[in-house]
Chains A and B, each alone.
Chain A
Amino acid sequence: MVGLNKSEFKNPVVNWIDTRLPIFTMMQNEYGAFPTPKNFNYLWNFGALAMINLMIMMVTGVFLAMNYQPNATLAFDSVQHIMRDVNYGWLLRYVHQNGASMFFIVVFVHIFRNMYYGSYKNPRELLWIFGVVLLLLMMATSFMGYVLPWGQMSYWGATVITNLFSAFPVVGDPIVTWLWGGFSVDNPTLNRFFSLHYLLPFVIFGVTFLHVVALHITGSNNPLGIDVKSPQDTLPFHPYYTVKDSVGLCVYLLVFAIFVFFWPNLLGDPNNFIPANPLQTPADIVPEWYFLPFYAILRSVPNKLGGVCLMFGSIAVLFVLPWLDTSPVRSARFRPIFRKLIWLWIVSVGVLGVCGANKPEGIWVVLSRVGTAYYFLHFLVILPILGKLERPLPLPESISRPVIGGGPLPGGAAAKPMEKV
């Protein structure tokens, strides 16, 4: 596509740039006029919130890195230095720390939204796959970030998680040694984790860009899960959804601020106030809350390799979800059985989370096995079969119909939707 862009912007400077590099036209098309289904609910805020959260993490992270020392003898003290001496260092750290939790809350809701309304289905499979890649990248980033303060939980968390790879026969031990750069978690490990913790958010940024490009090719799904049929079904993104996203943003920032200013350490672990000690493991090793369900899956079977495979499998299964769910109907609103079972799956994840926070003894072992079984049953058995058996409710004619007319029309009476513009 060679040739200058015919820019419609009046401002001469904007026009001059836009003629040569049409970024203003692009922004106008993708975020101004972009036709968006008009029936979004507030669950559609969470993608934009995730982007803002990523920005917050990158900005606070860069400023923290100006005062942090990625060295095993200095790291813990440098974090205390940030908390006590650096101007607003406490704020930077608490925002970054709680920001990680906020990020997972936001992305978990975002993923749930996609599962509930079938957003992963044709034609949005690739968009979904990029999403799962983002989830994996986020997990890697936050795991390595948690190691940096070099407290007891940092150290032993790093030890336990890197040791997961030792479960693999033959290659396991060499891989772990390679990950550590030595024979235990030590200074080389801390250095490389810092380097990668700095790098990965920029990778997340790039993948998010692809994720959004893919979104703008397929267009957004919507709570009815049916395709946009006419311009009447859509609204321009700006001002309608910029405003709706801003409302959500205010609520999100409020919740964020309550954590940061009133309960900054609620989601942290007291053991991380103790400097790393390679000679003593704390009594309970618990990961951050967002890893708990996966941690419970890991411990649910008494076999080292089996547990590791199940844990990686619990994410891997998400990649193939678009093909496991055989129902052509997207939104759970029109799938009476799926609509109930998806909540049962959520309950299984919640139960696994609680199991992950408790010692693997007695009832918790039983519950984590039941939870793990249901987690996989949902994806591997229920979804493929349900799509064939379930009788979906009649789908509305178009997005405007139920909004204006209040419900699906009887088959024959379908009026041809009037074209706006």
Chain B
Amino acid sequence: MADTSAAASHGQPGDVTKRDFLKLVAGAGAAIGAAAMAWPLIDSMNPSKDVLAMSSVEVDLTPIAVGQGITLMWRGKPVFVRHRTEQEIKDAEAVQLGQLIDPQADDARVKPGEKQWIVLVGICTHLGCIPTGNKPTEMRGDWGGWFCPCHGSQYDTSGRVRHGPAPANLAVPPYAFESDTKIKIG
């Protein structure tokens, strides 16, 4: 609408009139009001309080034998908890950081004094499949950790990616030891 009439209503081209100012203030006011009204709608799609309340789980470690791993649900995602063997810990620590696709020391991925436990979000960092290898009977790949059946990514015993296409290591979720045999994830 303004396109056809704007030129005529100005005194000099480039002049700022009182009407321009009023239009800007009114327009800005309406835009801020609309945004303020839109926010509750947008925010209502974020996780609700009950979803957030379910965002931590406790895990009893006693039933997990050496060399075994379990899969549990945390925030709707699989989490791997694996009891590593001495050999697996040694393999993970021996790797030269330079050889890694996403360099990170094993120390930085476990809790001090609890090196036998590795806790990982069980989602391949490529496109979201769940890698196999939690149970010793499953395919673990050339580095003895996990193997993703979707596009063949491989992870070592620290959950670090050793063979693409995945670009990054399996994520370590926030967790803490509540006692020697119990962790709380989230």
Interface residue ranges, A against B (CB under 8 Å): 8-11, 14, 27-28, 32, 59-60, 63, 66-67, 81, 84-89, 91-92, 238
User: CB-defined interface of B1-43 with A at 8 Å, one 1/0 digit per residue?
Assistant: 1011000000000000000000000000000000000001101
Known: A9-B4, A10-B4, A11-B3. A85 touches B41 (CB 8 A): no
Q: Shortest distance in angstroms between B173's beta carbon and chain A's nearest beta carbon?
A: 23
Closest chain B residue to A242 by CB distance? Answer: B1
User: CB-defined interface of B40-77 with A at 8 Å, one 1/0 digit per residue?
Assistant: 11011110111100000000000000000000000000
- Looking at chain B's contact residues, the main secondary structure is helix
Contact B44 A66 (CB under 8 A): yes
A-B pairs, top 6 by smallest CB distance, nearest first, are: A88-B40, A85-B48, A85-B49, A87-B43, A32-B1, A85-B50
CA–CA, A92 and B40, complex, Å: 8
Among candidates B4, B44, B49, residue contacting A92 with C-beta atoms closer than 8 Å: B44
Closest chain B residue to A87 by CB distance? Answer: B43
Contact A88 B43 (CB under 8 A): yes
Known: A81-B50, A84-B49. A89 touches B44 (CB 8 A): yes
CA–CA, A87 and B39, complex, Å: 10
A14, A87, A91 — which one has the most chain B CB atoms within 10 A of its CB?
A: A87
Known: A63-B41, A92-B40, A92-B41. A87 touches B48 (CB 8 A): yes
Residues of A within 8 A of B43 (CB): 87-88
Residues of A within 8 A of B1 (CB): 27-28, 32, 238
Question: What is the interface residue range for chain B against chain A?
Answer: 10 to 19
Q: Shortest distance in angstroms between B1's beta carbon and chain A's nearest beta carbon?
A: 4
Q: Shortest distance in angstroms between B19's beta carbon and chain A's nearest beta carbon?
A: 10
Contact A59 B41 (CB under 8 A): yes
Q: Shortest distance in angstroms between B177's beta carbon and chain A's nearest beta carbon?
A: 31
Known: A63-B44, A86-B44, A88-B43. A10 touches B3 (CB 8 A): yes
Residues of B within 8 A of A88 (CB): 40-41, 43-44
Q: Shortest distance in angstroms between A412's beta carbon and chain B's nearest beta carbon?
A: 41
Contact A67 B48 (CB under 8 A): yes
Residues of B within 8 A of A8 (CB): 3-4
Q: Shortest distance in angstroms between B22's beta carbon and chain A's nearest beta carbon?
A: 11
Q: List 20 A-B contacts (CB under 8 A).
A: A8-B3, A8-B4, A10-B4, A11-B3, A14-B3, A27-B1, A32-B1, A59-B41, A60-B41, A63-B41, A81-B50, A85-B48, A85-B50, A85-B51, A86-B49, A87-B49, A88-B40, A88-B41, A88-B43, A88-B44
Residues of B within 8 A of A85 (CB): 48-51
Q: Shortest distance in angstroms between B184's beta carbon and chain A's nearest beta carbon?
A: 23
Residues of B within 8 A of A87 (CB): 40, 43-44, 46, 48-49
Contact A91 B40 (CB under 8 A): yes
Contact A67 B44 (CB under 8 A): yes
User: CB-defined interface of B154-174 with A at 8 Å, one 1/0 digit per residue?
Assistant: 000000000000000000000
CA–CA, A402 and B40, complex, Å: 49
Q: Shortest distance in angstroms between A94's beta carbon and chain B's nearest beta carbon?
A: 11
CA–CA, A87 and B41, complex, Å: 9
CA–CA, A403 and B44, complex, Å: 51
Q: Shortest distance in angstroms between B75's beta carbon and chain A's nearest beta carbon?
A: 16
Closest chain A residue to B33 by CB distance? Answer: A253
Known pairs A28-B4, A92-B40. 8 more at Cβ < 8 A?
A: A8-B3, A8-B4, A27-B1, A60-B41, A67-B48, A86-B48, A87-B46, A89-B44
Q: Shortest distance in angstroms between B112's beta carbon and chain A's nearest beta carbon?
A: 38
Residues of B within 8 A of A14 (CB): 3
CA–CA, A400 and B184, complex, Å: 79
Closest chain B residue to A31 by CB distance? Answer: B1
Contact B3 A9 (CB under 8 A): yes
CA–CA, A66 and B52, complex, Å: 17
Residues of B within 8 A of A86 (CB): 44, 48-49
CA–CA, A27 and B46, complex, Å: 36
Residues of A within 8 A of B3 (CB): 8-11, 14
Residues of A within 8 A of B48 (CB): 67, 81, 85-87, 89
Q: Shortest distance in angstroms between B29's beta carbon and chain A's nearest beta carbon?
A: 11
Residues of B within 8 A of A9 (CB): 3-4
Residues of A within 8 A of B44 (CB): 63, 66-67, 86-89, 92
Closest chain A residue to B39 by CB distance? Answer: A88
Q: Shortest distance in angstroms between A189's beta carbon and chain B's nearest beta carbon?
A: 27
8 A Cβ contacts from B104-157 to A = none
Q: Shortest distance in angstroms between A7's beta carbon and chain B's nearest beta carbon?
A: 10
Residues of A within 8 A of B46 (CB): 87
Q: Shortest distance in angstroms between B42's beta carbon and chain A's nearest beta carbon?
A: 9
Residues of B within 8 A of A32 (CB): 1
Q: Shortest distance in angstroms between B129's beta carbon and chain A's nearest beta carbon?
A: 28
Q: Shortest distance in angstroms between A368's beta carbon and chain B's nearest beta carbon?
A: 41
CA–CA, A28 and B44, complex, Å: 36
CA–CA, A92 and B44, complex, Å: 9
CA–CA, A81 and B48, complex, Å: 9
Q: Shortest distance in angstroms between B89's beta carbon and chain A's nearest beta carbon?
A: 43
B3, B45, B51 — which one has the most chain A CB atoms within 10 A of its CB?
A: B3
